[in-house]
Amino acid sequence: MSGISAGRSAMRMGPAELVQAAAMARRFYLEGKSKIQIAEEFGVSRFKVARVLETALERDLVRIEIRVPAELDAERSDALRARYGLRHAVVVESPAEEQDDAADPENLGEVAAELLGELVNEGDVLGLAWGRSTIHMAAALDRLPPCTVVQLTGVYDAGTAERGSVEAVRRAAQVSGGEAHPIYAPMLLPDPATAAALRHQTGIARAFEYFDKVTVAAVSIGSWEPGISTVHDMLSDEERAHYASLGVAAEMSAHLFDTNGRRVGRDLGERCITVEADRLRRIPEVVAIAGGQRKAAAIGAVLRSGLVTSLVTDTAAADYLLTESAAGQRPALERADPDN
C-alpha cells in the first residue's frame, strides 16, 4: 500500500479516507473478509465498501500482483487451454540449451506429478501408460490421495519392467497407499493371436477390468521418428515404412494418428497390449505429458483426436501449438472423434 503521487493531487484523499480505505483493503484482500462483514464493522453500506475498494485500486493504495513460479508460463498456459478447449494446460519453460533431438524435458514429469496431486481424489482409479515422461512423473510423486493405480499399456521391453512402467505403477500406488495393478507383458507382440492370448492371462485380464473404472489417466505422446516414439522403435523398417505411408504423424499408447487427429493403422492395435482408444475417450481426465520442438506437431495431432483433456508441455511446443490453425474447434473440450 502506498500514498498518492503528486501527479494525482486533484484526486487526493484526506488522511481519514486514506486510513479507512487502507483498513478496508486489508480486511478484504489480506484477511479474506466479505464486503458485508467489512460494512458491519465500519458502520457503512456494502456499496460504500465496494466504492472504497474500487477507489483504492484506481489510486494505487492497493497493488495486486499475480505471481507463479518462474518455471511456469501462465500466459502461454491460459492461451493454450483456451485454443484447444483443454481443462488444464500447464506450460513450463524449455531448457535454456534445448537440443533439437532432446526427449521430453524431465521437469515436465515433475510438474505433471504436482498436477496429479491436484486432480486425483480419494477413491479414484489412476491409469498410467508407458512413456518416459510418465515414468519421470511417477518418480517425482510425493503426494496422492488413496487411490487404485492401474497400468494402461504393456512395457517397452519386458526385461526392463522394473525400471519402467511397472515400477511407475508401483511407485504411484506406494505414494497413495492404494492397490497396484501392473501389466507384466510387452506392449507389442508378434501377431494378434499372441496378444489376444496374453490379454486373457489372469494378471493382465485383472488390469484390463479396471480400464472402464479409470477416472484420471496420464499418457505420453511420440512423433513418428526414431527415439521419439516407442512403438516406432519396436517395429521393423518395413512396418515403419508401411505406417508412414498411411500418414501417421503421432503415436500415443500404441495408437497412431494423422495430422488431423484421425486414427490410422488400426491393425497395429490388435498386436498391442494397451487401453483401447474408445475407453480412453470415456476417461473423464486424460493428461498428456509431452514437449520439445520435435514433438510439437505430434502433440497437435493428438489434441485434435479428442482423446486428451489436459496437457503438460513446454514453451517450445506451446509456441508451435499456438501458431497452428485450430479452425475454431476445441477438440479436448468436445471429446469428439474426428473419424465420426
Tell me which of 92-101, 162-171, 275-284 is least confident.
Answer: 92-101
Which residues lie across from 241 on neighbouring strands? none
Confidence (pLDDT) at 132: 85
Judged against a pLDDT cut of 60, whether residue 127 lies above it is answered with yes
How does pLDDT run across 242-255, given as a tens digit for each residue?
999 999 999 999 99
Judged against a pLDDT cut of 50, whether residue 120 lies above it is answered with yes
Residue 96 pLDDT grade (very low, low, confident, very high; cuts 50, 70, 90): low
Judged against a pLDDT cut of 90, whether residue 158 lies above it is answered with no
Tell me which of 57-61, 86-90, 173-177, 334-338 is least confident.
Answer: 334-338
* Amino acid (1-letter code) at residue 205: A
Judged against a pLDDT cut of 50, whether residue 29 lies above it is answered with yes
22, 212, 214, 229 from 277: Cα distances, Å: 56, 12, 13, 18
**In terms of pLDDT, which residue wins out, 64 or 320?**
320
Report the percent of the chain where pLDDT is more than 90: 57
Which residues lie across from 274 on neighbouring strands? 153
Judged against a pLDDT cut of 50, whether residue 259 lies above it is answered with yes
How does pLDDT run across 40-92, given as a tens digit for each residue?
988 899 999 999 998 888 888 887 765 655 578 888 998 999 889 899 999 99
Contact 221, 124 (CB under 8 A): no
Judged against a pLDDT cut of 70, whether residue 95 lies above it is answered with yes
Angle of helix 132-140 relative to helix 106-119, nearest 10 degrees?
60
Judged against a pLDDT cut of 60, whether residue 1 lies above it is answered with no
Q: Identify the CA nearest to 302 among candidates 234, 224, 226.
A: 224
Confidence (pLDDT) at 149: 97
How does pLDDT run across 220-248, given as a tens digit for each residue?
999 988 878 888 888 889 999 999 999 99
Judged against a pLDDT cut of 70, whether residue 111 lies above it is answered with yes
Element (H, E) at 132: helix 132-140
Mean pLDDT for the chain overall: 85
Residue 327 pLDDT grade (very low, low, confident, very high; cuts 50, 70, 90): low
